[in-house]
């Protein structure tokens, strides 16, 4: 069979037609990041001569420094607040208001926070793990904000995708207007109306904990003090795995650091659940039938998980995806801002 120019055109058109789900919106953010990187490189090149001069000057002046002066500025990504329990920079934001206290002195504390963005975060952390019968509750101007056990890990609460305004409305927030944040440590009593029957009862005096709570205002990615890349990244396979039925997965080790991949599945009434794990800073945009439905942002080189929210057919329709149970859907994951292939994503059946 002879091949003609037409066959050549047909082969090229045929191959190009098998394009994965369009991620034009995510591409805008990815290109923006690359533009910023190019700008920083250009600025660094221009100021290199100045840096060299300064290094020479400080090197000379260092000869005359007090040899007993051991103070040195702590790198931004290592600075702590709230009794040294929380990082100054966390989750893409800077702590602008915080408190810390010890439970042998008091059971609650308040601080004033002025939100400048609806995407603010609140984090808390304890110096050791609380038992299940104890919990920390946080209210904002008297309205419930977050609650849960407190341990040596950082617990962070932020608005879910597309719900920033709804959260602000629920809390009665207005940007620029201060709010009162109350942190309270409670001991749950078995048999109370809010206590599951199988919750263990803590008998005896409450142990002494130090608790730190901070409110973070989001920063631009360009200004955020990312920690330096470690020599070796943590294993991407070490992250948590849900027990829900696996429907498909996308791994940056296959698609590339800022690559994208899709999972096609049939939507059931249980919905779908996205579970992501990352060991590098970056963002992953999640789409369903090309409509963005969530964005997971990672800010450290420590393994971090993201997910758990179940997207039922109703939830997807509220996010602008016109689907119903039984429809075939295409779930997309697109990485951006990653310098390493350090993320993986799973689509699981909702529970």
Partner 1 sequence: MAERRDFDEFVVTRSSRLLRTAFLLTRDWALAEDLLQTALAKSWFAWGRLDDNPEPYVRKVLVNTYASWWRRRWRAETPTESLPDSQAHGPDPTAQVDDRDELWQALGRLPRRQQAVIVLRYFEDLTEAQTADVLGVSTGTVKSQTSKALARLRLDPDLAAHPILNGGR
Of 18-26, 189-197, 207-215, 239-247, the segment contacting partner 1 by CB under 8 A is: 18-26
Residue 11 in the binding site for partner 1 (CB under 8 A): yes
Q: Which is nearer to partner 1, 33 or 190 (CB)?
A: 33
Does residue 259 interact with partner 1 by CB under 8 A? yes
Residue 31 or 54: the one with the smaller Cβ distance to partner 1 is: 31
Is 222 among the residues that bind partner 1 (CB under 8 A)? no
Does position 237 interact with partner 1 (CB under 8 A)? The reply is no
**Beta carbons of 33 and 337 less than 8 angstroms apart:** yes
CA angle 303, 275, 171 (to 5 degrees): 90
Q: Are 226 and 77 in contact (CB under 8 A)?
A: yes
Select the span of 12-20, 131-139, 177-185, 299-307 touching partner 1 (CB under 8 A).
12-20
Stretch that binds partner 1, among 13-21, 103-111, 129-137, 179-187 (CB under 8 A): 13-21
Q: Is 24 in the site for partner 1 (CB under 8 A)?
A: yes
Nearest to 185 by CA among 200, 205, 199: 205
Binding flag, residue 16, partner 1 (CB under 8 A): yes
Residue 336: CB minimum distance to partner 1, A: 9
The set of residues, in sequence order, having a beta carbon less than 8 Å from that of 187 and lying 6+ positions away, is 133, 134, 202, 206
Which residues pair with residue 82 across a beta bridge? none
In the complex, least distance from residue 12 CB atom to partner 1, rounded to whole angstroms: 4
Q: Quick one: which of 125, 210, 260, 297 contacts partner 1 (CB under 8 A)?
A: 260
Span interacting with partner 1, options 119-127, 162-170, 248-256, 343-351, rule CB under 8 A: 248-256
Determine, following the binding rule CB under 8 A, whether residue 43 of this chain makes contact with partner 1. no
The distance of closest approach from Cβ of residue 19 to partner 1 in the complex, given in angstroms and rounded to an integer, is 6
Nearest distance in Å: CB 295, partner 1? 16
- Cβ of residue 340: shortest distance to partner 1, in angstroms? 14
Q: How far apart are CA 300 and CA 50, in angstroms?
A: 30
Q: Between 259 and 281, name the residue whose CB sits nearer to partner 1.
A: 259
How many angstroms separate the CA atoms of 325 and 267, rounded? 5
Pick 34 or 324: Cβ nearer partner 1? 34
Q: Which of residues 74-93 bind partner 1 (CB under 8 A)?
A: none
What is d(CA 121, CA 167) in angstroms, rounded to the nearest whole number?
A: 12
Q: Which is nearer to partner 1, 11 or 166 (CB)?
A: 11
Q: Which is nearer to partner 1, 5 or 243 (CB)?
A: 5
Whole-angstrom distance, CA of residue 216 vs CA of residue 114: 10
Q: Counting contacts by CB under 8 A, is residue 220 touching partner 1? A: no
Name the DSSP class of 49: H
Q: CA angle, corner 158, sides to 154 and 162, nearest 5?
A: 150
Residue number, 234 or 251, with CB nearest to partner 1: 251
Q: How far is CA 241 from CA 20, 79, 100, 160, 261, in A?
A: 26, 32, 33, 21, 19
Quote the tokens at residue 328.
């075939």
C-alpha dihedral, 100 to 159 to 311 to 151, nearest 10° = -10
Beta bridge partners of 81: 86
Beta carbon nearer to partner 1, 138 or 263? 263
> Among 266, 171, 163, 161, which residue's Cα sits nearest to residue 215?
171
Contact residues for partner 1, defined by CB under 8 A: 1-5, 7-20, 22-25, 27-28, 30-31, 34-35, 37-38, 254-256, 258-260
């Amino acid at each position: 069979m002879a091949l003609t120019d037409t066959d050549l055109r047909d082969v090229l058109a045929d191959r190009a037609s098998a394009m994965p789900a369009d991620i034009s919106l995510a591409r805008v953010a990815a290109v923006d990041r690359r533009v910023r990187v190019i700008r920083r490189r250009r600025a660094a090149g221009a100021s290199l001569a100045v840096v060299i001069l300064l290094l020479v000057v400080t090197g000379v002046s260092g000869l005359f420094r007090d040899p007993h002066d051991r103070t040195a500025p702590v790198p931004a990504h290592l600075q702590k607040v709230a009794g040294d329990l929380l990082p100054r920079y966390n989750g893409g934001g800077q702590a602008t208001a915080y408190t810390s206290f010890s439970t042998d002195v008091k059971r609650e504390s308040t601080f004033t926070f002025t939100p400048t963005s609806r995407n603010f975060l609140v984090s808390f952390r304890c110096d050791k793990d609380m038992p299940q019968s104890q919990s920390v509750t946080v209210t904002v101007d008297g309205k419930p904000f977050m609650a849960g056990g407190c341990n040596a890990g950082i617990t962070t609460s932020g608005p879910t995708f597309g719900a920033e305004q709804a959260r602000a409305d629920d809390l009665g927030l207005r940007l620029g207007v201060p709010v009162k944040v109350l942190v309270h440590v409670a001991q749950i009593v078995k048999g109370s109306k809010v206590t599951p029957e199988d919750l263990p009862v803590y008998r005896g005096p409450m142990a002494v904990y130090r608790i730190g709570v901070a409110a973070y205002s989001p920063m631009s990615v360009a200004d955020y003090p990312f920690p330096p890349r470690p020599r070796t990244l943590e294993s991407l396979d070490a992250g948590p795995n849900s027990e829900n039925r696996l429907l498909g997965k996308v791994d940056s080790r296959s698609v590339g650091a800022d690559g994208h991949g899709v999972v096609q599945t049939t939507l059931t009434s249980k919905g779908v659940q996205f579970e992501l794990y990352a060991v590098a800073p970056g963002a992953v945009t999640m789409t369903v039938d090309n409509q963005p439905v969530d964005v997971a942002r990672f800010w450290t080189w420590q393994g971090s998980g993201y997910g758990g929210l179940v997207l039922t057919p109703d939830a997807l329709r509220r996010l602008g995806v016109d689907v119903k149970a039984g429809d075939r859907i295409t779930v997309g994951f697109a990485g951006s801002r990653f310098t390493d292939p350090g993320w993986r994503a799973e689509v699981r059946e909702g529970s």
